[in-house]
Amino acid sequence: MYFGLSEDQIMLQDSVRRFLEAQSELEHVRVYAEGDDALAGQLQNGLMELGVPLVFIPEAQGGLGMGVLEAALIQEMLGRFVAPSAFTPAYGMAVAGLNVGTNADQRNVWLGRIVGGDVVMGVGVTEAVGAREGAGLTLSAGAVSGRASFVMGAETATHFLLAAGDALVIIDRAADGVTETALTTIDKTRKTIMLDLENVTCDVLEGSAQPAVETMINVGRVLLAADSFGAAEMMLQKAVAYAKDREQFNRPIASFQAVKHMCADMAARLEPCRSLLWYAAYAQDNVPEEGPLMACMAKSHISEVGKFIARTATEVHGGMGFTDLMGLHYWFKRIGFNRQLLGGPEKTRHDAAVLQGFSN
Amino acid sequence: MYFGLSEDQIMLQDSVRRFLEAQSELEHVRVYAEGDDALAGQLQNGLMELGVPLVFIPEAQGGLGMGVLEAALIQEMLGRFVAPSAFTPAYGMAVAGLNVGTNADQRNVWLGRIVGGDVVMGVGVTEAVGAREGAGLTLSAGAVSGRASFVMGAETATHFLLAAGDALVIIDRAADGVTETALTTIDKTRKTIMLDLENVTCDVLEGSAQPAVETMINVGRVLLAADSFGAAEMMLQKAVAYAKDREQFNRPIASFQAVKHMCADMAARLEPCRSLLWYAAYAQDNVPEEGPLMACMAKSHISEVGKFIARTATEVHGGMGFTDLMGLHYWFKRIGFNRQLLGGPEKTRHDAAVLQGFSN
Amino acid sequence: MNLDFTLEYQEFRAEVRDFLETHKDSAPRMSDRGVRSEKRRAWQKILLEHGYAARTLPKEYGGHGAAPDALKSRIIAEEFSRAKMPGGISGQGINMLVPTLLELGTEEQKQKYIEPTLTGEMVWCQGYSEPGAGSDLAALRTSAVLEGDHFVVNGQKIWTSTAAQADMIFCLVRTEPDAPKHQGISYLLFSMDTPGIEVRPLMTMTGQAEFNEVFFTDVRVPADQIVGQRGEGWMVANATLTHERGMLGDPDAALSRLNSIAEIMQKETVDGAPLMDNAVFRDRLIALQAEVFAMKFNGMRLTTSATQKKSGGMAGMIVKLQGCELNHRLAELAIDVMGEYGILFEDSPFIRDHGMWQTAYMFDLGLIIGGGSAQIQKNIISERGLEMPREPKVAKK
Amino acid sequence: MNLDFTLEYQEFRAEVRDFLETHKDSAPRMSDRGVRSEKRRAWQKILLEHGYAARTLPKEYGGHGAAPDALKSRIIAEEFSRAKMPGGISGQGINMLVPTLLELGTEEQKQKYIEPTLTGEMVWCQGYSEPGAGSDLAALRTSAVLEGDHFVVNGQKIWTSTAAQADMIFCLVRTEPDAPKHQGISYLLFSMDTPGIEVRPLMTMTGQAEFNEVFFTDVRVPADQIVGQRGEGWMVANATLTHERGMLGDPDAALSRLNSIAEIMQKETVDGAPLMDNAVFRDRLIALQAEVFAMKFNGMRLTTSATQKKSGGMAGMIVKLQGCELNHRLAELAIDVMGEYGILFEDSPFIRDHGMWQTAYMFDLGLIIGGGSAQIQKNIISERGLEMPREPKVAKK
């Protein structure tokens, strides 16, 4: 038994870390957040060169054939450096869906195009988690209509992989009948949209859509949890560093017991999340009977701990944490965004109860 | 508008406080808790001399005709000094039930006997709050059968006022067919029993039992909240005093920021409970449309704050708080007992939601 | 306990309602409430005339001269809130400087500054905090050196709201660098037009610049523009900080926030079921409702204390700590119940309640950690309220 | 990440299971597990023989002499827990004194004390804490004055578990009253039968006397009954405190507590509906389940670190703080879901799970606040784990 990362996994994560340390420092983040896509594109290209988009695609389709754990390790780093990347929807969830929910031909075609780089998927599965008033897609004669809300990955998507009732469909972003409404969210490093579709031609994936959509949601939950974990880890690190640096009453605030205990509480709550995240990611590929439950556990628990740390780390920074000067809010908002997508903690805990037969 | 206590109310509370300060110091509490009823009886007599049992009984029946607020102020003191008294069931809930749920004759008879001192009521309404497996009473041909669980006031009761389905009945404790099972609870200062009844002759109160039972529960909830409030206030006071006294690392622990902030958190959460308690008690008599809601609010919120203080005050005492030496656990357990009776916080919040049309 | 109002107060309330009904068209709209708005000043003039602003300030300085009556103040606040009408101007000039001048200013300063401040002609900002002096405010380092009949001010302030629009600043500076830190501070008043002042907006996590940084380079301030004596500035400022407590605003703001959340939960659905059907969210709503009620009643108790000219004691000391925390947690619940909609921000399509919830969630956190942070509030509660000892002095290395 | 066990470990697990199956009738029952129980000692003898107790201790002192293998230790713990079989004796003698003697004892002390301690013949108690020296343990005042070839001990200890049954005590005393507080302490071993020792049971909030106070009046201890040198006792004790970490017990204890609560919620009803139908309690259950899983996986990660002879780092440092807190909150949920039944105590009729929940609720709180309290744990995490500075020294008045 070995509960930990392999050397390869550590190397993979370190290479992404080193790249992002250089490419995604705060000044770059500010530029992305203000909507300058050039710098974000440069970061995408760098990730591409590292092979990041390929990690989760099977070798048979030209990918690197790694698992959800590797994807989570990458996403943790993207969260740690609040990098503007659609990795979770485009190269995590979409790939997971295509792996499960289609026949070999369609899989080869679409994954091949993703590997080739001429297709980047956005995903819309919000209604499969819980449909808000009026939202939802219906399929009729090979065309799809209705609203898909909170579609993820809009920054780079050329196509969208969408849950439409019992089906899973792909549409071209440029197709007739597609109306996009850009959403402004708290997190300016990722782009989310509403899609209103009217009779849009689509490729309906053959095979059973239900398990595919569920897999997409599970993988998405694990990756959002990884993102929050990475962001929370960085916030704790920043809080400790700030506390050592900042003096009040002639001593570093890190020497005040109240500040020390706030940091200790953060560390004590965050550290077990790392193991939970590793296991939840690992289980998706290796312990399938526990995959959905562990996705719920990681998403809900890391969302709660993440919120606690987002607030407490800000508090340690005092007024500075509240300003834009230190940019701490990018991490705060990233954690806030992850919390709500694909089911908030109450929803994911409810799903966990259902999975265990504790509720209907 | 005057939101506060009247001089009479302050005097009433002070007189009970002074009496209990002398009669219910820790050494006495230990004796009661070990089951020595003599000293408890002495305390009852003292309260009797102060007129405490009469406060809530209408003047028409020979009482002092005060309201729930006065009863709550007394109960707060009983909680503060963890006094072994069945005031809540015997002179709060039972009197409230008799005031509402019967005709004038029965009311005169029973309240008269209570005033006279030859009847002391215990109450059993747990099943009207929520019936656990198998419990509940049924009425048939003027006799009552079944189980009443967690009957309050067993220390002094000569009779029991019981909810039996849609009816409210009084039985003599010594009647044929009554089987008592004494319960051991965490709180050794109050006595609770199970009653198993088999065709026990009873006095069925005429009039509508439903509102009477509800009133008993509302008044009971306010008084349990008052008891927890008084106990929590004392625990905070003891924690602050201990922290000033106890030295570690050559300074009183009260000078450590972490200890100070624990005490400040307790005070900040406890103080608004005082106003909530006053209003909830006042509303029972004066704002009847808000009475049931405010009883739920006071019971649930003060239970939560009480639990927080029970734990935190114990923590401030360090290991000493955990021993029997300081007796702090009598307060801890009193708060724990109050929390669970007549509906825990989740149940009372649910009731509050129903009262506002937020739930069925 | 008597929650009825006597005839006098019932009549007073009716009077306020009449006033609001009569003048409802004179109140500036939401978009027209900036510190420089003419409509706002016209409204302020009406309020001053009727005694709904500067109610208890002396007539000789432009106030209404009424006897302090906490109950009437509360009735005014309640009725303005109920009618959704804006109250009087409430900047730091009116709330902090004016009471300070009344207590410690010279007659000339009172004459010169109070009335234009009350009418809104003269807008003030506050220069207290510095980047290196937050919770340890007395560590401030902005210097003022007397040269002839002027102080020459150099340094930097932060957290200065309305600095860009202000005519004047009341400012703490260090005039005696060698004195112990609390005894070397002076309290100066000067024009924001004085050469050498630069204002830079300070953006916060809400995406707005609610505050500014203000930089002073050789700013020359006439030496008589001082309140109190040289080196007494800390005492003068503390008088002002005490007055800050008065800025409570709508006593039932938390309750109306709570009711808005209940409305969302009743109106909006997931998978066809109203959010209110979610027992877990409902339980959180009710738990917060109990806290809101507790704070509401705590506030009523404080009003009664004030009408009796008694100190609110612990009930008063905990208001800021508990109030900010409660508002923050209300916003947190609103965001959680809205699910994905909870992350919408600013002027996004589909946003609920004009985006107030995320903004409130962050801004209230700022209030918790900002000027007079939660940590400091807890020190005050433990030291003044519970009489626990101060942190001992640290040994020199 | 590889959660499979290699053949070696699968075989080892099978071996443990075989052992447990074969010897299941030899294990003492719950009522027969006291420190003086003959059955317990017979069981300990079997465990020692098979290497399920004192597994890695040298054979020459009565141990099994196996190479340390964290995975095998974990497998043993898991299998004993699964079979609900008691493990080896685990008092403070075995867990704290024996490792200390192995590291710092004289050869004579090792020969004399280790084997009888392992077999359970010699029972120890620990004399560290004093009423005035809790979190500030080094402030202890129990004195030992050398008179001829004996130390004469006077003073008082507290929190001494099994003091009434113990043969021996390992005890910290102050031998050099004029030295700095950490340098004046010595570590003595002596018999609890020595004249001048009085043991008084210390009742706690659980209603049981889990601890004792121990009073020393002119207790004469031979001078060679010291571990380490005079004045080195603090260093010796810290070696022991480090070993305390090993006392973790059943790695899945929290999970089995959680499962018991789920069982109650599925089995018991209110108004005819199972408690599990209450969405609010269910939500709390699942939230705790996530924490239990996180701690379980954290423990697996620590086992892997140990098999690789690496430090667990932060993952290890947080175990006590988080583990106690989690157990306390599990008990809290159990009490809440049981409603009125939650307040039943001791041997009350109708009590659930033999009354374990209230006892656990209180006892776990005791663990949180007791020896090495939460406050101290947080200091350790912030200072050693996050490298934050220690509290500065307080200035002399």
| D residues 306-345 closer than 8 Å to A (CB) | 314-315, 318, 321-322
Sign of CA dihedral A198, A203, A204, A209: negative
A294-311 mean pLDDT: 98
Chain B contact set for A256 (CB, 8 A): 257
* Residue D248: per-residue pLDDT: 46
| Residue C123, SS3 per DSSP | coil
User: Across the interface, do A314 and C369 touch by the CB < 8 Å criterion?
Assistant: yes
Which chains does chain C touch, 3 or more C-beta pairs < 8 A?
A, B, D
Q: Which residues contact B125 (CB under 8 A, 6 or more apart)?
A: B93, B162, B163, B213, B216, B217, B220, B342
Residue B320 in this model has a pLDDT that exceeds 70: yes
CA angle C92, C97, C98 (to 5 degrees): 110
Q: Which residues contact D67 (CB under 8 A, 6 or more apart)?
A: D56
* Residue C251: per-residue pLDDT: 63
Give kind and range of the element (H or E) at residue C274.
strand C273-274
pLDDT in tens, chain D (397 residues): 999 999 999 999 999 999 999 999 999 987 887 888 899 999 999 999 999 999 999 999 999 999 989 899 889 988 998 898 988 888 889 988 999 999 999 999 999 999 999 999 999 999 999 988 877 888 999 999 999 999 999 999 999 989 999 999 999 999 999 999 899 999 999 999 999 999 999 999 999 998 999 999 999 999 999 999 999 999 998 876 655 444 445 667 899 999 999 999 999 999 999 999 999 999 999 999 999 999 999 999 999 998 888 888 999 999 988 988 999 999 999 999 999 999 999 999 999 999 999 999 999 998 888 755 787 889 889 999 999 998 776 665 4
Cα–Cα distance measured from residue B164 to residue B143, given in angstroms and rounded to the nearest whole number: 10
Q: What is the largest CA-CA distance in chain A?
A: 74
* Residue D296: per-residue pLDDT: 94
Cα–Cα distance measured from residue B27 to residue C158, given in angstroms and rounded to the nearest whole number: 58
Residue C397 in this model has a pLDDT that exceeds 50: no
User: Across the interface, do D345 and B132 touch by the CB < 8 Å criterion?
Assistant: no
Instruction: State whether residue A263 sits within 8 Å of chain B by CB.
Output: no
* Residue B152: per-residue pLDDT: 97
Chain D contact set for C278 (CB, 8 A): 279
* Residues D211/D204, Cβ–Cβ less than 8 Å: yes
Name the minimum distance, in Å, from the CA of C383 to any CA of chain B.
8
Express each pLDDT in B190-240 by its tens digit. 999 999 999 999 999 998 899 999 999 999 999 999 999 999 999 999 999
Name the minimum distance, in Å, from the CA of C272 to any CA of chain B.
16
Express each pLDDT in A98-141 by its tens digit. 999 888 899 999 999 999 999 999 999 999 999 998 899 999 99
Instruction: State whether residue B249 sits within 8 Å of chain A by CB.
Output: no
B166-185 mean pLDDT: 97
Chain A contact set for C368 (CB, 8 A): 315
Residue type, D24: K
Cα–Cα distance measured from residue B337 to residue B330, given in angstroms and rounded to the nearest whole number: 10
Closest in A133, A318, A336 to C343, CB measured: A336
Cα torsion at D227, D230, D233, D234 (round to 10°)? -150
Q: Quick check: is D244 catalytic? A: yes
* Residue C248: per-residue pLDDT: 46
Express each pLDDT in A235-284 by its tens digit. 999 999 999 999 888 899 999 988 999 999 999 999 999 999 999 999 99
A299-323 mean pLDDT: 95
Q: Share the mean pLDDT of chain A.
A: 95
Q: pLDDT confidence of B120, banded at 50, 70, 90?
A: very high
Express as a percent the part of chain C with pLDDT over 90.
73
* Residue B113: per-residue pLDDT: 96
Chain A contact set for B261 (CB, 8 A): 258
Cα–Cα distance measured from residue A358 to residue A360, given in angstroms and rounded to the nearest whole number: 7
User: Across the interface, do A267 and D314 touch by the CB < 8 Å criterion?
Assistant: yes
Q: Which two tokens stand for residue D166?
A: 């113990």
Chain C contact set for A133 (CB, 8 A): 268-269
Closest in A258, A329, A336 to C375, CB measured: A258
* Residue D397: per-residue pLDDT: 44
* Interface residue of C336, C394, C397 to substitute, partner D, most D CBs within 10 Å: C394
| Residue A170, SS3 per DSSP | strand
* Residue A243: per-residue pLDDT: 96
User: Across the interface, do B322 and D370 touch by the CB < 8 Å criterion?
Assistant: yes
Q: Which residues contact B220 (CB under 8 A, 6 or more apart)?
A: B88, B89, B92, B93, B123, B125, B152, B341, B342
For chain A, what's the residue count?
360
User: Across the interface, do D339 and B248 touch by the CB < 8 Å criterion?
Assistant: no
Name the minimum distance, in Å, from the CA of A246 to any CA of chain C.
8
Q: Share the mean pLDDT of chain C.
A: 91
Q: Which residues of C are catalytic?
A: 244
Q: Domain D248-385 is classified in which CATH homologous superfamily?
A: Butyryl-CoA Dehydrogenase, subunit A, domain 3 (1.20.140.10)
Q: pLDDT confidence of B52, banded at 50, 70, 90?
A: very high
* Residue C244: per-residue pLDDT: 47
Long-range contacts (CB closer than 8 Å, 24 or more residues apart) made by A22-31: A23/A81, A23/A83, A24/A81, A24/A82, A24/A83, A25/A81, A26/A327, A26/A330, A29/A81, A29/A82, A29/A83, A29/A84, A29/A189, A29/A327, A29/A330, A30/A327
- The partner residues of A140 in beta bridges, in order of sequence, read A143
* Interface residue of D276, D283, D285, D337 to substitute, partner C, most C CBs within 10 Å: D283
Name the minimum distance, in Å, from the CA of C375 to any CA of chain B.
8
* Residue D244: per-residue pLDDT: 47
Give kind and range of the element (H or E) at residue B194.
strand B192-201
User: Across the interface, do D392 and C396 touch by the CB < 8 Å criterion?
Assistant: no
* Residue A360: per-residue pLDDT: 86
C51-72 mean pLDDT: 92
Q: Which two tokens stand for residue C300?
A: 């009523």
Cα–Cα distance measured from residue C292 to residue B199, given in angstroms and rounded to the nearest whole number: 48
For residue A33, give the chain C residue with the closest CA. C207
Express each pLDDT in C32-49 by its tens digit. 878 888 899 999 999 999
Express each pLDDT in D25-81 by its tens digit. 999 987 887 888 899 999 999 999 999 999 999 999 999 999 989 899 889 988 998
Fold classified for D124-233: Butyryl-CoA Dehydrogenase, subunit A; domain 2 (2.40.110)
Residue B342 in this model has a pLDDT that exceeds 80: yes
Q: Which two tokens stand for residue B290?
A: 């808000």
* Residue D245: per-residue pLDDT: 44
Q: pLDDT confidence of C246, banded at 50, 70, 90?
A: very low
For residue A281, give the chain D residue with the closest CA. D1
Express each pLDDT in C173-194 by its tens digit. 999 999 998 999 999 999 999 9
| D residues 15-74 closer than 8 Å to A (CB) | 71
* Residue D367: per-residue pLDDT: 84
* Residue D95: per-residue pLDDT: 87
Q: pLDDT confidence of C137, banded at 50, 70, 90?
A: confident
Cα–Cα distance measured from residue D388 to residue A241, given in angstroms and rounded to the nearest whole number: 9
For residue D362, give the chain B residue with the closest CA. B322
Cα–Cα distance measured from residue C272 to residue A135, given in angstroms and rounded to the nearest whole number: 10
User: Across the interface, do D280 and C279 touch by the CB < 8 Å criterion?
Assistant: yes
Express each pLDDT in A193-239 by its tens digit. 999 999 999 999 998 899 999 999 999 999 999 999 999 999 999 99
Q: What domains can be seen in chain A, in order of their start residue? A: 7-116 (1.10.540.10), 121-208 (2.40.110.10), 210-355 (1.20.140.10)
Name the minimum distance, in Å, from the CA of B131 to any CA of chain A.
22
Chain B contact set for C375 (CB, 8 A): 261
* Residue D375: per-residue pLDDT: 79
Give the DSSP per-residue string, A26-41.
Answer: HHHHHHHHTT-HHHHH
* Closest C-alpha to C335, from C355, C315, C313: C355
Instruction: Report how far Cα C21 is from the mean position of its chain's Cα atoms.
Output: 27
Domain positions in chain D: 7-89, 124-233, 248-385
Instruction: State whether residue B360 sits within 8 Å of chain A by CB.
Output: no
Q: pLDDT confidence of C396, banded at 50, 70, 90?
A: low
* C118-145 b/e (C-beta count within 10 Å ≥ 16 → b): bbbebbbbbbbbbeebbbbbbbbebbbe
C233-249 mean pLDDT: 67
* Interface residue of D276, D277, D278, D280 to substitute, partner C, most C CBs within 10 Å: D280
Burial of residue A27, with CB atoms counted within 10 A of its CB: 0-12 exposed, 13-18 middle, 19 or more buried: exposed
**Chain D residues contacting C via beta carbons under 8 Å:** 278-280, 283, 392-396
* Residue D90: per-residue pLDDT: 83
Q: Share the mean pLDDT of chain B.
A: 95
What's the count of helices (H) and strands (E) in chain A, helices before strands? 14, 10
Closest in D276, D294, D388 to A275, CB measured: D294
* Closest C-alpha to C116, from C194, C30, C54, C27: C54
DSSP symbol at D354: G
For residue A9, give the chain D residue with the closest CA. D1
